[in-house]
Amino acid sequence: MPHVIVSPCIGTKDQACTEVCPVECIYDGGEMFLIHPDECIDCGACVPACPVSAIYPEEDVPAGETEYIQKNRAFFGL
C-alpha cells in the first residue's frame, strides 16, 4: 500500500486530496477518505494537498496511527 490516510482525516474529509489524485484511488469511507492500495501509483500528489497532514507513505505512518494501514486494506476487502 503506497499511501495511507490516518485519523486527522476523520470528520474533516477535505476533498483537496481527491482533486489532485491522477488515478482517482481515494474513496469516501464514511467518516474519512481511504486510499485503495492496489490502485495507488505512489505519486505522492495527495500528501501536500491534504490540509490536515493525514496522508503518509505506508512505511512512514506514525506509530500511533498504524491501525489505519489495516483499516484501509479491510475497507477494500484486501
Q: If pLDDT is split at 50, 70 and 90, which confidence band does 78 have?
A: confident
Is the distance from CB of 13 to CB of 34 less than 8 angstroms?
no
What's the pLDDT at 1?
Answer: 56
Domains of the chain, first to last:
3-75 (3.30.70.20)
pLDDT for 7-62, tens place per residue? 999 999 899 999 999 999 999 999 999 999 999 999 999 999 999 999 999 999 99
Reduced 3-state DSSP string for the chain:
CCEEECHHHCCCCCCHHHHHCCCCCEEECCCCEEECCCCCCCCCCHHHHCCCCCEEEHHHCCHHHCHHHHHHHHHCCC
